[in-house]
C-alpha cells in the first residue's frame, strides 16, 4: 500500500503563541467557579494581537459552553454572549482583537474542529490554546494549535481540517511580573524554611531535566528505527547541548569541583555544630530557670508556717 502524502495550506503561518499570566489566572478562576471537581471543561475567547507569525495573547473571557458527553457532535457555544462581551472589551482596549479560543481539555476532543470553525467568522486564522489547570507533568501548562487544510495529493479524498501544534510560551510585561510576585508571596507557605524551598526547587528542576533527557532519547531511538524523519535543526541543537557539557576529565576542573564541594560541606558542618551548641545552651538555661523557680517555691512554703507559728 502506497503512502499518501499530504499538503498543508494555511492562511497565515503561525510560528509562536505567547500567553500572559493574566490569561492563565482568568482561566483558572473560571474553571474553579464552573467546572471544579467535575469532568466538564470551560471554554472562552482569547484576545490579543498578531505580528509576524507571533500571536500575543494578553486577555481572555469565558463564554457559556455546553456539550453532550455521549455525543460529541452536540454542543452549544453562546456566540451572542461572546459578541456582547467583545464589544465591551473593545471599548476598553481597541488594540486587542479576537485571536482564538481556549479550552481546559486537557486534550483535544472530537468536536474541537467544529468549535474552531465557529471562530473563523471572527478571525481569519484562529488559534486554540489548551490549558491544563491540573497538570501532572512538569513544564508549562499550555499547548497551542491552529487549523490547516489538508489536501491529498492523489485527490482520492476531500480536503479536511486538521490541527497543527505550534510552539507556546509564557511571557509577561513588567507590571504583570510585579503582580505575579505579589500573588506568589501571598500563597507562599511561611512554615517552610528557605532551605527546604530551595531543595524542593532543585528537585523539581532535576525531575524536569530527567523528563527532557528521556524525551530526547525516545526521539533519537525513533529516528534510528526510521520511524521519524531526520531533522537536522534538532540534531544541530542537540550537538550544541553536548558541546556545552564540561569535560570532567580535566584535572583542574575536578579539583575546582572538589574544593567547591568541600567549602559547602564545611559550611553545613559548622552550621550543624552551631545549632547543637545553641540547643545545649538553651537546655542549660532552661534547667537553671526551672531550678530557680523550684527554690523560690520552697522558700515560700517555708516562710508561711513560720509566720503562722509566731
Query: What contacts 24+ positions apart, CB below 8 Å, involve 199-207?
Result: 204/138, 207/138
Rounded Cα gap, residues 180 and 176, in angstroms:
6
Task: Say how many CA atoms lie within 13 Å of 194 toward its Cβ.
Answer: 0
Rounded mean pLDDT, 167-187: 79
Query: What contacts 24+ positions apart, CB below 8 Å, involve 267-276?
Result: none
- Choice among 28-37, 146-155, 208-217, 260-269 with the minimum mean pLDDT: 146-155
Rounded Cα gap, residues 165 and 162, in angstroms:
10
Torsion of CA 95, 98, 101, 102, to 10 degrees: 10
pLDDT over threshold 60, residue 1: no
Answer whether 0.75 is exceeded by the pTM: no
How many whole angstroms from its chain centre is CA 47?
A: 20
- Choice among 25-29, 147-151, 255-259 with the minimum mean pLDDT: 147-151
Of these ranges, 116-120, 199-203, 293-297, the one predicted with the greatest mean pLDDT is: 116-120
pLDDT confidence bin for 9, thresholds 50/70/90: very low
pLDDT over threshold 50, residue 8: no
The pLDDT of residue 284 is: 93
- Choice among 7-16, 66-75, 139-148, 199-208 with the minimum mean pLDDT: 7-16
pLDDT confidence bin for 304, thresholds 50/70/90: low
Rounded mean pLDDT, 87-99: 91
Mean pLDDT of the chain: 84
Rounded Cα gap, residues 226 and 213, in angstroms:
20
Rounded mean pLDDT, 188-213: 76
Strand partners, 9: 149
Rounded mean pLDDT, 16-29: 91
Task: Say how many CA atoms lie within 13 Å of 283 toward its Cβ.
Answer: 6
The pLDDT of residue 288 is: 92
Which one, of 52, 51, 62, 53, lies nearest residue 23 by Cα? 62
Helix 174-187 vs helix 21-34: angle between axes, to the nearest 10 degrees? Answer: 40
| Cell, residue 170 | 509564557
The pLDDT of residue 145 is: 94
Which one, of 120, 102, 99, 115, lies nearest residue 47 by Cα? 99
Percentage of the chain exceeding pLDDT 70: 88
pLDDT over threshold 70, residue 310: no
pLDDT confidence bin for 86, thresholds 50/70/90: very high
Question: 306 or 170: whose pLDDT is higher?
Answer: 170
Rounded mean pLDDT, 9-22: 77
pLDDT over threshold 70, residue 221: yes
The pLDDT of residue 305 is: 59
pLDDT over threshold 50, residue 108: yes
| Cell, residue 18 | 505567547
Query: Within a 10 A sphere around the Cβ of 104, how many other Cβ atoms?
Result: 21
The pLDDT of residue 206 is: 87
Amino acid at each position: 500500500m502506497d503512502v499518501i502524502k499530504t499538503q498543508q495550506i494555511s492562511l497565515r503561518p503561525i510560528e509562536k503563541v505567547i500567553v500572559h499570566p493574566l490569561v492563565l489566572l482568568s482561566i483558572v478562576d473560571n474553571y474553579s467557579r464552573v467546572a471544579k471537581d467535575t469532568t466538564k471543561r470551560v471554554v472562552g475567547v482569547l484576545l490579543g494581537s498578531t505580528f509576524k507569525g507571533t500571536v500575543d495573547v494578553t486577555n481572555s473571557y469565558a463564554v457559556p459552553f455546553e456539550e453532550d458527553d455521549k455525543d460529541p457532535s452536540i454542543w452549544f457555544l453562546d456566540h451572542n454572549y461572546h459578541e456582547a462581551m467583545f464589544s465591551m472589551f473593545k471599548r476598553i482596549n481597541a488594540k486587542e482583537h479576537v485571536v482564538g479560543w481556549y479550552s481546559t481539555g486537557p486534550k483535544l476532543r472530537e468536536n474541537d474542529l467544529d468549535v474552531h470553525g465557529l471562530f473563523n467568522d471572527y478571525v481569519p486564522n484562529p488559534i486554540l490554546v489548551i490549558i491544563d489547570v491540573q497538570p501532572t507533568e512538569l513544564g508549562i501548562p499550555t499547548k497551542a494549535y491552529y487549523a490547516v487544510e489538508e489536501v491529498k495529493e492523489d485527490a482520492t479524498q476531500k480536503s479536511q481540517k486538521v490541527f497543527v501544534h505550534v510552539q507556546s510560551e509564557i511571557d509577561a510585561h513588567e507590571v504583570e511580573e510585579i503582580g505575579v510576585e505579589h500573588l506568589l508571596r501571598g500563597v507562599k507557605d511561611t512554615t517552610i524554611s528557605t532551605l527546604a524551598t530551595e531543595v524542593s526547587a532543585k528537585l523539581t528542576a532535576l525531575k524536569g531535566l530527567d523528563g527532557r533527557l528521556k524525551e530526547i532519547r525516545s526521539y533519537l531511538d525513533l529516528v534510528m528505527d526510521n520511524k521519524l524523519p531526520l531533522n537536522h535543526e534538532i540534531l544541530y541543537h542537540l550537538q550544541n547541548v553536548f558541546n556545552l557539557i564540561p569535560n570532567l576529565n580535566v584535572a583542574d576542573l575536578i579539583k575546582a569541583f572538589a574544593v567547591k564541594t568541600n567549602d559547602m560541606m564545611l559550611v553545613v558542618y559548622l552550621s550543624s555544630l552551631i545549632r547543637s551548641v545553641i540547643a545545649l545552651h538553651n537546655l542549660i538555661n532552661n534547667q537553671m530557670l526551672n531550678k530557680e523557680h523550684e527554690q523560690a517555691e520552697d522558700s515560700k512554703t517555708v516562710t508561711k508556717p513560720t509566720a503562722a507559728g509566731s
